[in-house]
Amino acid sequence: MKQELKKHIVLGLTGGIAAYKAAELARLLMKQGVEVQVAMTEAACHFITPATMQALTGRPVLVNQWGAAESGMAHIDTSRTADAIVIAPATADFIAKLAHGLADDLLSTLCLARDCPLLVASAMNRQMWANAATQRNIAQLGRDGVTLLGPCSGAQACGEEGMGRMLEAEELARDIVAFLQNTPLSLALSRKRERELEGVRVLITAGPTYEAIDAVRGITNRSSGKMGYAVAQAALELGAQVTLVSGPTALPKTQGARVVDVTSAAEMFDAVKQHVADADIFIGVAAVADYRAAQPSEQKIKKSADTLTLELLPNPDILAYVANLPKPPFCVGFAAESENLREQAKAKRKAKKIPLLAANLAQQAIGADENELILFDDAGEHVLPRTDKLTLARALVQHIVILYQQGKQR
């Protein structure tokens, strides 16, 4: 059944291959009761026709600021009546224009002349995304209060693989609707992203640990490190000094963070003990092995017909150690549960005596590109709906900033 959200957005398309996803996005938004007015740059028209977008939305598409259909003050009128402008796809070039306040076509003029929120779904090649100029422009948009949706990592149209791929239409529709409904995620995402953690030292654990059984075998888990690295990235974006203690992962080193590579839980514990005195905030995202082999063999254990019994010893609880220090940093824990998420998470927050715990379903979170979190703090619970891990990490870190600053004022 069509839900009447009664919101009106301008959907701006710029010239990237991901423009084809905008057709489905418009359809999904309209299905949820969002009125969609499409505006396209000339470059976007090379990838998808205005006729397609007009047929889907039932409204003439705005393209040319000098054309008869868009004469008058289209740039002012259109943004005045909109609840938000969403740019999807947003190319590196268009993002640069937004960051510098350029207005040399109808869509960029609409963005500059708006008094409504702006949401930007980036889409570009991984090297364009990683380029320092793009990252500067993205950071500027964050400071200007623009809401960034994605991008995510994956296969790219050019045949390469990496960060810069636009989120799928379903993901964007969900995030846009959440934004229009003022959910906790949207509030966290739409806060102005000043450098609120400038000078704040954040210690983060990420990834799995590996507990050797013998020379070639060990106990580990499927944590990829993606969630912890995303949290590190989100903290860096706000100006934090980040130390990332990472178990074995296949991820590239986080630029700008001090990365300490470890293998076992004991090594992770040592690294945390070494750096915790300098930390203002500690975030335990790592999936630390709860047990290790009592007597790991230096040589490969030979196969035999006998039963092999492995004695396991419990590992130290790193988060509990940090939280119980005489002057602990602001502590944030994660809980990965396969059932009874809420009950287990609340019990874990209480047992570990930490102000904030982020709970996720292990089977949906571990190794995945996306996640959903429920945050538990003294005020209750806050759901951060499913989205890519970087978007989620930004919302989580915004929540941490609020609690951390409140704690300092007491």
Q: Which residues are catalytic?
A: 158
* Smallest gap from residue 4 Cβ to ligand PMT (A): 35
* Smallest gap from residue 333 Cβ to ligand PMT (A): 4
Q: Which of 365, 374, 393, 400 binds ligand PMT (CB under 6 A)?
A: 365
Does residue number 329 form part of the binding site for ligand PMT (CB under 6 A)?
no
- Interacting residues of 268 by C-beta distance below 8 A, sequence separation 6+: 205, 209, 245, 247, 262, 286, 288, 318
Q: Which of 125, 223, 243, 246 binds ligand PMT (CB under 6 A)?
A: 223
* Smallest gap from residue 197 Cβ to ligand PMT (A): 20
Q: Which of 34, 271, 335, 396 binds ligand PMT (CB under 6 A)?
A: 335
Nearer to ligand PMT, 207 or 355 (CB): 207
- Interacting residues of 383 by C-beta distance below 8 A, sequence separation 6+: 183, 184, 185, 372, 373, 374, 375
Does residue number 333 form part of the binding site for ligand PMT (CB under 6 A)?
yes
Q: Which two tokens stand for residue 249?
A: 């992962």
Does residue number 395 form part of the binding site for ligand PMT (CB under 6 A)?
no
Q: What is the distance of C-alpha 183 from the center of its chain? A: 16
* Smallest gap from residue 193 Cβ to ligand PMT (A): 22
Does residue number 287 form part of the binding site for ligand PMT (CB under 6 A)?
yes
Name the pairing type of β-strands 281-284 and 330-337.
parallel
- Interacting residues of 347 by C-beta distance below 8 A, sequence separation 6+: none
Does residue number 142 form part of the binding site for ligand PMT (CB under 6 A)?
no
Residue pair 12/111 in contact by the 8 Å Cβ criterion: yes
* Smallest gap from residue 227 Cβ to ligand PMT (A): 3
Nearer to ligand PMT, 108 or 371 (CB): 371
Rounded-to-integer distance, Cα 80 and Cα 122, Å: 24
Does residue number 204 form part of the binding site for ligand PMT (CB under 6 A)?
no
Task: Considering only residues 68 through 107, tell me which ones interact with ligand PMT, judged by CB under 6 A.
Answer: none
Does residue number 271 form part of the binding site for ligand PMT (CB under 6 A)?
no
Q: Which stretch binds ligand PMT (CB under 6 A): 67-75, 143-151, 169-177, 364-372?
A: 364-372
Does residue number 284 form part of the binding site for ligand PMT (CB under 6 A)?
yes
Q: Which stretch binds ligand PMT (CB under 6 A): 44-52, 133-141, 177-185, 312-320?
A: 312-320
Q: Which of 334, 375, 377, 397 binds ligand PMT (CB under 6 A)?
A: 334
Q: Which of 285, 323, 400, 403 binds ligand PMT (CB under 6 A)?
A: 285
Q: Which of 12, 225, 329, 355 binds ligand PMT (CB under 6 A)?
A: 225
Q: Which of 37, 108, 186, 205 binds ligand PMT (CB under 6 A)?
A: 205
Q: Which of 146, 227, 238, 356 binds ligand PMT (CB under 6 A)?
A: 227
Does residue number 226 form part of the binding site for ligand PMT (CB under 6 A)?
yes
Does residue number 163 form part of the binding site for ligand PMT (CB under 6 A)?
no
Q: Which stretch binds ligand PMT (CB under 6 A): 127-135, 152-160, 224-232, 401-409?
A: 224-232
* Smallest gap from residue 79 Cβ to ligand PMT (A): 38
Nearer to ligand PMT, 270 or 317 (CB): 317
Q: Which of 39, 178, 265, 392 binds ligand PMT (CB under 6 A)?
A: 265
Residues that bind ligand PMT (CB under 6 A): 205, 207, 223-228, 265, 284-288, 290, 315, 317-319, 333-336, 348, 360, 362, 365-367
